[in-house]
A and B are shown apart, each in its own frame.
Chain A
Amino acid sequence: MNSAATATSEPGHRAKPRPRRRELREVTLLVATFVVVLGVGALRPSFMSFSNIEFMVLSSVVLGLVGISQTFVIITRGIDLSVSAVLGLSAMVFGLLSTTSSMPLWQVLPLCMAMGAVLGCLNGFLVAWLKIPPIIATLGTYSLYGGLTFIYSNGLQVDQVSPDFAAFGNGNLIPFLPVPTPVLALIAVATAAWFVLNHMKFGRNILAIGNNAAAAYNAGISVRRTLLAVYTISGALAAFAGLVFVAYTGSATATTGTGDHVELQSIAIALIGGTAIAGGRGNLAGTVIGSVFLSVVITALVFLQVPAIWYSAGEGLMILAAVTLGARRSSNP
């Protein structure tokens, strides 16, 4: 490509190391979030109330959880469309469970994540072993899991949850700290994800596979097992997000997750957050801030009385914008 440039540079004698790439996406997103908050707040003062800000942060948690696992999947050059179906199934199954059984939350939680892991594991098997393109594999399982939700619910829907679920969804885990438990959960998951991606072999293997799967394989990295693990985690986190959702809202229907296009939203925040759709590069902080940004924008649309039907169009436009701007940038480094 730039052969003339390489032909003239010499291996032994380079004057100065180049400056490292600065990732400013988080800053841009934070600024954009504040601009929206202040702008809409000026028009509709109640937008800036503490309760509304708490609402916006809380409602970004579900999306943030799914966005984190979606980021992992996208780094491997994959995509997981089935997250919304897994989320919906988990919300339905465990929402109903909380009212029909007296199982305490600490027992439900591992059960829920295990269910999600199994569902995600099937995705991973389809992608890594049967070599079905991720988009098609997860589109297929999307319909499978979505169908399961309908069959399981059998016309029922969740309209209330047990008290300890409600306490988990809306209460504060630490009495004197006014931070709702779901937000703490998101912070914990995000921190763990960051640690995994930056400081554990597994995370580095994910990045290596996204950069060049063949080279990663040649270096002795087990590509298929890593992919399997990534899709499994994606399923587990989506199921956890479903649990948080039902605990927080106290309701779930057969179209929870799929009806809100959570799969689209999670892809949107990952791409807006600076993760490359071509794989190999991810930005977890960007994803988390992206989820807050999306939640703020949607709430702002509500405050500005934009009809709800336009929200998904807005998300579609946001994805296109994020991808197009991302492509521009990488073609002209």
Chain B
Amino acid sequence: MKYLFPRQPWDRALVAILVALFSGFCIFTPGFYDGFHGTLAITEEFLPFGFVALGLSVVILTGGIDLSVGSISGLAAVIMAILIKSYGLNTWLAVLLAIGAGGGLGWLNGQIITRLRVEPLIATLSTNFIYSSIAIALAGASPPYGFGPAFGELGTGALAGWVPVQLVIFIVLAIGFSGLITRTGYGRRLVMIGYNRDAAHYAGVSVASVERRAYCISGIMAAFAGIVLASYYDAVRADMGDILLLTSITMVVLGGISIFGGEGGILGVTLAVMILGVLRQGMLIAGFSDMVTTMLIGAILLSSIAIKNLFSSRGFDLGSIIRRLSSLRPPERMAPRS
């Protein structure tokens, strides 16, 4: 049990925020607490964000970024729908192929970044628009819908009648990603690259190949999120992934993974997924519009990085905060990849 309790101060703060937020909504928002089962079912509304966040964590740990996750998830879902509806493929085979397509799109991002040496930001910003054009073109005017009850179980089903399938998958994946990052050679290389790309290269790490795989993982997870969304709505739309990006990046960053790479872990990301998910659903139930929620998430993104930047290396005392705010050092980490 003692290993389950978070040891990092940042993670502990996240636990406190989650508890406070959850109890706040339970007490002040009528309709939020709908029994134990109902509350668990809320997770179905936001876990697709979490799937994307897990994949994105890997990319951000290398110090990169993937802005194309939204369009990859839309495109993968559209591909799956077409394979089922137009080609009559078996549903689960189509799901596998669509996830593979997501991996392929992520791999292409990785190729552009490592072989053409385009900055991740510019590369994935560009491919985001390319992929979404393709998705819209493939989807056509009236995208397919209705994939049968078995497929719907993925997004809305529950094990033993009360544990959402999505939640089970998310927990398994989160443990898997945590193990990948902390226990495997790949994870170690990933963190090395994030902290010090040059030192990793000198230590014999094939930086480009590790990065390519990271973007591939991110693409796979984005595609999976798209498929879960398709299952949840029992329909696809080419642009249905567009809402994923901002919230997922915020989940990763709020979870304590440094936007500069290297630092952070999956436990924090998991907590941040729950926090932002609860916040999102709670606000919707409380009657705030989607847009207000999105704005709030944008604000959380900015403040969590700002707080991290202000507190990370120096202490928490007021004097050092003032010094940091008034220090005249220019921003150093804006340098592009060499």
Q: Which residues of A contact B (CB under 8 A)?
A: 77-79, 126-137, 139-144, 146-148, 150-151, 209, 213-214, 216-217, 222-224, 227, 261, 264, 267, 271, 277-279, 307, 309-313, 315-317, 319-320, 323-324, 327
Residues from chain B with Cβ under 8 Å of A135 in the complex: 65, 121
Tell me if B287 counts as interface (CB < 8 A to partner A): no
Q: Check A130/B306 contact, CB under 8 A, given A147-B298, A209-B330.
A: yes
CB<8 Å pairs between A and B, sample of 18: A126-B306, A128-B331, A130-B302, A132-B302, A132-B306, A136-B259, A140-B299, A143-B297, A146-B291, A151-B292, A223-B331, A224-B328, A267-B122, A311-B133, A313-B133, A316-B127, A319-B126, A320-B122
The 8 Å CB contact of B121, one of A79, A271, A310, is: A79
**Which has the most chain A C-beta neighbours within 10 Å: B116, B249, B298?**
B298
In the complex, residue of chain A having the shortest beta-carbon distance to the beta carbon of B333 = A133
Q: Is the CB of A148 within 8 A of B302?
A: no
Q: Is the CB of B331 within 8 A of A127?
A: yes
The 8 Å CB contact of A315, one of B129, B299, B328, B335, is: B129
The 8 Å CB contact of B249, one of A127, A139, A147, A324, is: A139
Number of A-B contacts (CB under 8 A): 147
The 8 Å CB contact of B129, one of A141, A271, A313, is: A313
Q: Check A130/B309 contact, CB under 8 A, given A140-B298, A143-B298.
A: yes
Tell me if B285 counts as interface (CB < 8 A to partner A): no
- Interface of chain B residues 300 through 337 with chain A (CB within 8 A): 301-302, 305-306, 309-310, 325, 328-336
Residues from chain A with Cβ under 8 Å of B260 in the complex: 133
In the complex, residue of chain B having the shortest beta-carbon distance to the beta carbon of A81 = B125
The CA-CA distance from A324 to B127 in the complex, in Å, is: 14
Residues from chain A with Cβ under 8 Å of B328 in the complex: 217, 222-224
Q: Check A267/B298 contact, CB under 8 A, given A78-B334, A217-B329.
A: no
Q: Check A142/B309 contact, CB under 8 A, given A131-B331, A209-B330, A327-B118.
A: no
Q: Is the CB of B334 within 8 A of A213?
A: yes
In the complex, residue of chain B having the shortest beta-carbon distance to the beta carbon of A142 = B298
Q: Is the CB of B249 within 8 A of A136?
A: yes
How extensive is the interface on chain B, given as a class?
A: 35 or more
The CA-CA distance from A222 to B127 in the complex, in Å, is: 36
Q: Is the CB of A310 within 8 A of B137?
A: yes
Q: Is the CB of B302 within 8 A of A267?
A: no
- Interface of chain B residues 192 through 220 with chain A (CB within 8 A): none
Residues from chain A with Cβ under 8 Å of B126 in the complex: 264, 315-317, 319-320
Q: Is the CB of A150 within 8 A of B65?
A: no
The CA-CA distance from A16 to B42 in the complex, in Å, is: 74
Tell me if B62 counts as interface (CB < 8 A to partner A): no
The CA-CA distance from A242 to B65 in the complex, in Å, is: 29
What's the least CB distance linking A6 to chain B, in Å?
A: 20
Closest 5 CB pairs of A and B: A313-B133, A147-B295, A143-B298, A316-B126, A213-B330
Residues from chain A with Cβ under 8 Å of B325 in the complex: 129
The CA-CA distance from A245 to B332 in the complex, in Å, is: 37
What's the least CB distance linking B122 to chain A, in Å?
A: 6
**Which has the most chain A C-beta neighbours within 10 Å: B65, B125, B299, B332?**
B125
Q: Is the CB of B334 within 8 A of A327?
A: no
In the complex, residue of chain A having the shortest beta-carbon distance to the beta carbon of B298 = A143
